[in-house]
Amino acid sequence: MNFTTSELTQQVARSARDFAQQYIKPHLMEWDESQEFPLHIFKEMGKLGLMGVLVPEQYGGTGLGYFEYSVVIQEIAKVCGSIGLSLAAHNSLCTGHILTFGNEEQKQKYLPKLATAEFIGAWGLTEPNTGSDAGNMKTTAVKDGDNWIINGTKSWITHGRSGDVAVVICRTGEPRAKNNCTAFIVDRGTPGFSGGKKENKLGMRASETAEMIFDNCIIPDSNRLGEIGDGFKQSMKVLDGGRISIAALSLGIAKGAYEASVQYSKERHQFDQPISNFQGIAFKLADMATKIECAELLINQSCDLKMKGLPMTKQAAMAKYYASEISVEVSTDAVQIFGGYGYTKDFPVEKFYRDSKLCTIGEGTSEIQKLVISREVLK
């Protein structure tokens, strides 16, 4: 495995970094305080090709690979985890599901609009009472001639209100039965489909998280993704790629917290010298740097396997589990290094600290990642 960063990957990283500094950094605390979902920023990212990183050029995307996708999310998350989260969810979940499992007609209809951010995408698996227990979901789709009637509520959905199109996984069989779920594409504006409660969150506050409500929502069978009963299998494959996204998001947050800590430790003086001279601070920075390097290697390994079309369920779960946990650890140490200033909103690390926690929960908790890893290990 050769993880030498290519010139293309470096160029993509620079483009994302420059965008984040110019368009996101000046406003991130304003959006965080107000919980504004800055839709215009995603439209601008669409112009740069960042909303369709993995989408082939024939469908209006940039046609890049997972290494480029990873660095895009990292560079955005180094500045703002909220924008990085929404970027990841749009690319890997909604867009990724249609790209992987849609037929040619569905790809032609939706991917060009998603890749350019004409459409913002949402993806609905989680429900109020079924998080990790997705096989027992209550949202149902019942066949009615050439149509399907969807009823139920999806919760904790990124872009649940603002998404123009959603991929929704519904139960089409009996609870707990094998192959009892099917995936559908639902357009915003379809009668019976509406946005519900928007969550008031600890972190990731500029990334919209809301309910999607379906009340006798009728969609044509042509909006079904793949075969009836394949929805859960599809979701697990989509989440494999999604784990790389959240791992990259976690790593970006950790890098942002670490870089801020290094700079501050050189500038902050106590006892007539920079605090970086003190072993208590220097050793913290050493631990942070080591954890970041380890997480990056796991992510690069997952990207490498994904690009080669090789099995990567275990590696992606390891990358997501480790990167998300060290993101919390690194951002916690960053607050400690900043001391009292780290607890205020005048410095960036308190936001990294708040944003990092979601990474250990979203797209499969750390406990679920350990379940996936242990099953792969014990095969």
Question: How far is it, in rounded angstroms, from Cα 183 to Cα 38?
Answer: 28
Amino acid identity, position 206: A
DSSP state of 94: I
DSSP state of 163: -
- Tell me which H or E stretch contains 149: strand 147-158
Q: Which residues of 230-241 are buried (b: 16+ CB within 10 A; e: fewer)?
A: bbbebbebbbbb
Candidate list 44, 363, 367, 376, residue with the active-site label: 363
On the 0-12 / 13-18 / 19+ scale of CB atoms within 10 A, 190 is middle
Question: How far is it, in rounded angstroms, from Cα 24 to Cα 45?
Answer: 11
Sign for the pseudo-dihedral over CA of 74, 361, 26, 121: positive
Question: How far is it, in rounded angstroms, from Cα 54 to Cα 92?
Answer: 8
Cα–Cα distances (Å) from 42 to 137, 147, 331, in that order, read 31, 33, 26
Is 267 known to be catalytic?
A: no
Active-site residue list: 363
